[in-house]
Amino acid sequence: MVYPWIEQTGCCELVLKSLSSSVVNWEQVGVVRKAERPEEANLLIIGGWINPEQAQNLKEVYDRMLKEKLVIAVGSCALSAAAFANDENCVAAKEILPVHYFVPGCPPRWDDILKGISAISKIGMQNKTVRDILNDSGNDHVF
Amino acid sequence: MSIVKRPDIKSSWYVTSIVKGMALTFRNMIYNIFHKDEMPTVNYPEEKYEYGPRFKGSHILTVKKDGSIRCTACMLCATNCPADCISITAAEHDDPEVEKFPISYEIDTLRCVYCGFCEEACPVDAVRMGPEWQQPGLNGSSFVHDIQHLTRRPNLKGGYLSILDEEERHNSGI
Ligand code: SF4
Ligand code: SF4
């Protein structure tokens, strides 16, 4: 049971946007709904390139999320800055945040992102109801 | 003097639009119940989306008919790669006719952008983009693939044979 917050740029934006289209049924893998604010989210999906400004923004978003945080990095730029590795304007996600699941590809297909969501929601959220997650979160003002 | 007209009662009456919208929704719902095959939604873990057989995904190192690896460690692919993700170590071959061969050939899939430039650069058709997709994984699983994985991973069912042999290849001018 995850509430994803999606940070998207570049070409991966197109793939991540297609997740909420009618072709993909992502409720099937445990997504309740997209979080409307970072405070409601327990899953951060990072897709596309990250520049230093955005890295700062991502850290802020990460801090604002619920207590139990999971991170998926999508696409080569977010995984390792790929072709821009020698450029200081592109940083890899694993340098700024602890990443739990890597989805390689440029851009990856949506199947793999769903695979990632179902895989890591099994680690963190085992046998937990929505109520448990919210009780654990410590964010009283949420919901 | 400008006169602002109040919107008349017809345009502010929204029930017709709601009925119209709901009619469309219900029409589609009934249609989808009776035409399940035409529904675009893929229920992911049970159903898989089929990609074309010519899809270019994970790398394959082809082997010759005698089972040895086709790559000659010329480094053209590593030079052409925009992401610097191929690392090759060349070694001397026992056979005096063969100049060198790669003793290790590693592709870092976290860096690869699947552009296919390595495949285009290779003069001997040794590296190809296979039809299967790259594997996602948890943090800590191995994303750097070595020769063993690139030539003989289980999905390839025992080595990806390059169809042409040395002589056939020269004759056909590849
Ligand atoms: S597909 Fe492109 S990025 Fe990947 S190894 Fe080949 S040349 Fe490098
Ligand atoms: S795969 Fe092809 S281009 Fe790359 S080193 Fe081997 S022979 Fe050269």
- Residue A25 included in any domain: yes
Q: What is the pLDDT, as a whole number, of residue A139?
A: 46
Cβ atoms B62, B160 nearer than 8 A: yes
* pTM, full prediction: 0.79
- CB-CB contact of A74 with A100 (8 Å): no
Whether B118 and B158 have beta carbons less than 8 Å apart is answered as no
Determine the average pLDDT of the residues in A19-45.
84
Does residue A113 sit within a domain? yes
- ipTM of the modeled complex: 0.76
Containing domain of residue A70, as a range?
Answer: 4-132
- Separation in Å, CA B93 to CA A90, A117, B78: 41, 46, 20
The pLDDT confidence band at residue B22, using thresholds 50, 70 and 90, is very high
Residue A116 domain flag: yes
pLDDT in tens, B47-73: 888 888 788 888 888 888 777 888 889
Q: How far apart are CA A101 and CA B44, in angstroms?
A: 18
B129 in Cβ contact with B57 (< 8 Å): yes
Chain B residues in contact with A95 by the CB 8 A cut-off are: none
With CB atoms and an 8 Å threshold, state whether A79 touches B43: no
Residue of A29, A82, A116 with shortest CB distance to B83: A82
Q: Where are the alpha helices (DSSP H) in chain B?
A: 15-34, 76-80, 117-121, 147-152, 166-172
CATH level 3 topology of B59-172: Alpha-Beta Plaits (3.30.70)
Tokens representing B148 are 């063993």
Residue A141 lies in a domain: no
Show the ligand 2 pocket: residues with CB < 6 angstroms: B 71-77, 88, 121-122, 124, 126-127
Write out the DSSP string of A8-48. E-TTHHHHHHHTTSSSB-GGGGTB----SSGGG-SEEEEES
Domain ranges of chain B: 59-172
Specify the number of domains making up chain A.
1
User: pLDDT tens, B76-113?
Assistant: 999 999 988 999 999 988 888 888 889 999 999 888 99
CB contact under 8 A, B83 and A85: yes
- What is the Cα–Cα distance from B146 to B104, expressed in whole angstroms? 7
| CATH code for the domain in which residue A25 is found | 3.40.50.12280
How far is it, in rounded angstroms, from Cα A16 to Cα A14?
Answer: 6
Quote the pLDDT of residue A56. Answer: 93
From the list B88, B90, B160, the residue with the least C-alpha distance to B129 is B160
| Residue B9 DSSP symbol | T
Contact flag B48-A101 (C-beta cutoff 8 Å): no
